[in-house]
Amino acid sequence: MAVIEKQSSRLNSLWSNYRLAEQIRRTLIFLAATLGFVVMIWPIAWTILTSLKHPQEVHRFPMTWLPDNWLYFENYRILFTEYPIWRWLLNSIIVTSLSLASTLFFCSLAGYAFAKLRFWGKELLFVSVIALLMMPPEITLVPLYLMFNWAGLVNTYPGIIGSNWLSVVGVFIMRQFMESIPNDYVDAARIDGASEFQIYLRVALPLTIPGFVTLAVIKTILAWNDFLWPLVVATKQEMMTMTVALQVFNTSFYIEYTLITAGALISMLPLITMFLILQRWVMQGMVMAGLKG
Amino acid sequence: MERVTVEQIESSSARQLAAKKSGRFSRIWDYISGVITGRTVAHRQARTAYLFTLPVFIYVIIIFFIPAGYTIVLSMYTWSLDGLGRFIGLESYSELLNAPLFLKSLRNTLVFTLMSVPGTVFFGLLAALAFQSRARLRFRGFFKVTYFMPLVVSLVAVAFVWKWMFNPSIGLLNNILRMLSLPEQGWLNDTTQVLPSLAIMYVWARLGFAMVIFIAGLESIPSDYYDAAAIDGASRWQQFWRITFPLLNPQLVLVVILEMITSLRTFELPYMAANGGPAHASRTVVLHIYDSAFQYFQMGSAAAAAIILFALILGLTLVQRRLLSRQIEY
């Protein structure tokens, strides 16, 4: 009996040692994660702090961390009154929403066809479309610009949308989601005399709303953040999107960092807000887009 | 649904028989004419399908095929303001490969990639190991979201924010160094430090993507493996190298290849944060393409540079796939 008790107390102390080590290990990981959190969030936090400072505060030595007056919105006032920010935001919204609407419609339509209809060359056509994702868009930048220039689309909304009116990844994603619809539903609708377009609209679309949200999120981020193409196509200041317009601050004139950070914050705020609301969708969408792009 | 009459079936099967006899070409023609006229239910369905996918094919032709062909043509001709000039064959390529500026941008791109990809994979993996559900860290979801957040911010804004933090005189980083009485650094203004500085921005911006993919990979490894290894007395270090690392190989290869492609194409960061400078120390290939096409209007040279970049990306992707992929079974 005594032996067993001795053993079990040894075991107990071993166990508590292990628990202690585990506790320490976990605390250390938590501390490291918190440090990482500070590093990850700091650039964005610093942007907010700087945008609330007076230009002179920024040049102070030694540096001060927090703004003197938390309600100093002068930078934003200057930005909105002396620069066409509203126009730039509007351009971004127009370009993003048009790209979004046409991408969602065309991709889901094609996705339905690739998933639920029978036609000659289906697999071959699908694979060859998807294979084009291997081609980085920078390769076609120059000729695409020459083509758009030739068509007179430079400095127009269709021109700025450019290749954003459809998405090859989107076709892939929508086909994935459409394939999960049971064939019975589609067949039943066919027997009831529905046309394929009606089936797509009334049966397939309501059942693939997750796919829609995923694709919409991806497209919003890509279209809003698109830079190289709009930079080339939108050369007039009044046609620039917000992302391209930030570049005006960079090159045209000397501007205080307090203004630049305010502008950068305005440009990223819509997407950060969307991300915080739709976290799971955004992560899933970005990963799906990344895997196939 | 229209009623299919016996005659229709008979006539269509007779037609198929005739088509079978008369060879491949007429069979294709038979299908095409059937689709156009909507001869049977199947033909009509195919017609709808072609109509539904038509925008995709138009897109692919306008956005991919014509420009891709045009790039090849452009790269072999001279370019003037009126359009294509005379045929010069591969001269643009040989000129580029002898041009110090292009070679420098090629070297910069590769050096940048060599720093940013390992950095992203390393920190992404670290974050994934800490935030996988098996680690049972507190506030795991919250951490995951904040680490992912930079990914939705445009790289242009990222470049601005970091340019401001890297500012040598009033920027945050040098101020902190000053407080710690450490020597101040030139960061983006120093020819040797500009690429590492850009790589830091890149890792900060992209790490969330690697993290999410690694987490998915880690959660698909059965817990039994770890339990069995722990019973056998394997340390956590051994468990990582013998179980996690080999079983995570598909995700690792994927992330390495995707990040390599992304950083070989990098443009926003060097363009916005350093404008290719100082002294072309951060000029990347895409920046070179942009510069020669839209600042100097040398479309032919830019097209040739684009094709060299494409060849580089394709080549490195294939090599990595070959070298890194391992088939592991337990």
What is the CA angle B180-B184-B187, rounded to 5? Answer: 125
Give the chain A residue nearest B35 (alpha carbons): A119
Report if residue B88 sits inside a domain.
no
Do residue A138 and residue A154 come from a single domain? yes
Chain B partners within 8 Å of A252 (Cβ):
none
Residue in B132, B154, B161, B134 with CA at minimum distance from that of residue B144? B132
Q: How many domains does chain B have?
A: 2
- Which pLDDT score is estimated for B70? 92
pLDDT of residue B107: 95
| Residue B213 dihedral angles phi and psi, to the nearest 5° | -65, -40
CB B188 within 8 Å of CB B197: yes
Is residue A132 domain-shared with residue A208, that is, in the same domain? yes
From CA A151, how far away is CA A262, in angstroms rounded?
37
In a domain, B315, yes or no: yes
Q: Does A259 touch chain B (CB under 8 A)?
A: no
| B241, B162: one domain | yes
CB-CB: which of B138, B154, B289 is closest to A243? B154
Are A107 and A244 in a shared domain?
Answer: yes
Nearest CB neighbour to A140, from listed B71, B143, B161? B71
Are A105 and A12 within one domain?
no
Provide the 3-class DSSP secondary structure of residue A182: coil
CA A238, CA A156: separation in Å to the nearest integer?
Answer: 10
Least confident segment among B6-15, B108-117, B137-146, B174-183:
B6-15
The pTM of the whole model exceeds 0.80: yes
Indicate yes or no: CB of B149 within 8 angstroms of CB of A283.
Answer: no
Tokens in use for B245?
């690392």
pLDDT of residue B63 exceeding 60: yes
Q: Do A163 and B143 touch (CB under 8 A)?
A: no
Residue B250 and residue B312 share a domain = yes
Of A29, A39, A144, the CB nearest to B67: A144
**What does the pLDDT read at residue B1?**
45
Q: Are residues B65 and B98 in the same domain?
A: no
Domain shared by B161 and B297, yes or no: yes
Pick the residue from chain B with its C-alpha nearest to A134. B314
CATH number for the domain spanning B126: value is 1.10.3720.10
User: For residue A288, what is the domain's CATH number?
Assistant: 1.10.3720.10
Query: Are the Cβ atoms of A33 and B130 closer than 8 angstroms?
Result: yes
Residue B283 reports pLDDT greater than 90: yes
Q: What total of structural domains would you count in chain A?
A: 3
Q: Taking all residues of chain B, what is their mean pLDDT, rounded to a whole number?
A: 88
Same domain assignment for residues B99 and B161: yes
CB proximity under 8 Å: A 136-195 to B: 136, 138-147, 163, 165-166, 168, 171, 190-191, 193, 195
**Is B179–A62 a contact, with Cβ atoms under 8 angstroms apart?**
yes
Same domain, B206 and B69: no
Cβ atoms of residues A229 and A114 within 8 Å: no
SS (H, E, C) B98-131: HCHHHHHHHHHHHHHHHHHHHHHHHHHHHHHHHH
pLDDT band at B27 (very low <50, low <70, confident <90, very high): confident
B26 with B19: CB under 8 angstroms? Answer: yes
In whole angstroms, give the CA distance from residue A149 to residue B40: 45
Asked if residue B162 and residue B59 are part of one domain, the reply reads no
A18 and A130 share a domain?
no
Does the residue B248 lie in any domain? yes
- Contact (CB<8Å) A106/B55: yes
Please tell me the predicted confidence (pLDDT) of residue B205.
Answer: 94
Going by C-alpha positions, the residue among B94, B100, B105 that lies closest to residue B285 is B105
Q: Could you give the percent of chain A with pLDDT greater than 70?
A: 97
Mean pLDDT across B289-303: 90
Say what the pLDDT of residue B330 is: 61
Give the span between the Cα atoms of A187 and A183, in whole angstroms: 6
B54 within domain boundaries = yes
Q: Do A120 and B31 touch (CB under 8 A)?
A: yes
The pLDDT value given to residue A61:
76
Q: Same domain for B175 and B203?
A: yes
How distant is the Cα of B290 from the closest Cα of chain A, in angstroms?
Answer: 8
- Which of B130, B144, B158 shows the shortest C-beta gap to A29? B130
Query: Do residue B127 and residue B12 come from a single domain?
Result: no
Q: Quick check: A43 contacting B, CB < 8 Å?
A: yes
Across the A:B interface, residue pairs with CB atoms under 8 Å apart total 254
Please tell me whether residues A115 and A69 are part of one structural domain: no
Please indicate, yes or no, whether residues A191 and A226 belong to a single structural domain of this protein.
yes
Given the structure tokens 């993919």, which residue do they identify? Answer: B213
User: Same structural domain for residues B147 and B47?
Assistant: no
Chain A hits for B79, Cβ within 8 Å: none
Q: Is residue B89 part of a domain?
A: no
B147 and B25: one domain? no
What is the spatial distance between Cα A199 and Cα A205, in angstroms, rounded to a whole number? 9
Residues A68 and A163 in one domain: no
Domain match, A110 and A177 both: yes
Of residues A200, A275, A24, A15, the one with CA closest to residue B53: A200
B132 has a pLDDT exceeding 50: yes
Using a CB-CB cut-off of 8 Å, the residues of chain A touching B294 are: 145, 232
Name the least confident of A159-163, A201-205, B16-20, B228-232: B16-20
Distance from CA of A6 to the nearest CA of B (A): 23
Percentage of residues in chain B having pLDDT higher than 70: 92
Give the structural domain span for A65.
52-80
Residues of chain A contacting B307 with CB distance shorter than 8 Å: 139
pLDDT at A253: 59
User: Cβ–Cβ of B64/A135 closer than 8 Å?
Assistant: yes
Residue B329: pLDDT over 80: no
Regions in chain A scoring below 70 on pLDDT = 1-4, 251-254, 292-293
Establish if B85 belongs to a structural domain. no
Whether residues A106 and A180 share a domain: the answer is yes
Per CB-CB distance under 8 Å, the chain B contacts of A163 are 59, 63
Domain of residue B282: give its range. Answer: 94-324
Do the domain assignments include residue B135? Answer: yes
- pLDDT of B245 above 70: yes
Claim to verify: residue A73 and residue A134 sit in the same structural domain: no
The DSSP call for residue B63 is I
Q: Which residues of B touch A263 (CB under 8 A)?
A: 160
- Position A185 scores a pLDDT of 92
Q: Residue B4: pLDDT above 60?
A: no
CA dihedral B32, B33, B36, B37 (to 10 degrees): -150
pLDDT at position A270, please?
93
Q: Report pLDDT digits (tens) over B172-221.
A: 888 888 888 888 888 888 888 999 999 999 999 999 999 999 999 999 99
Do A101 and A226 fall within a single domain? yes
Q: Is the pLDDT of residue B9 over 80?
A: no
Which residue in A has a C-alpha nearest to residue B164's C-alpha?
A257
N-terminal to C-terminal alpha carbon distance within chain B = 53
Distance from CA of A4 to the nearest CA of B (A): 22
Q: Do B111 and B169 fall within a single domain?
A: yes
> How far from A118 is each of A246, B33, B35, B43, CA to CA, in Å?
48, 17, 12, 9
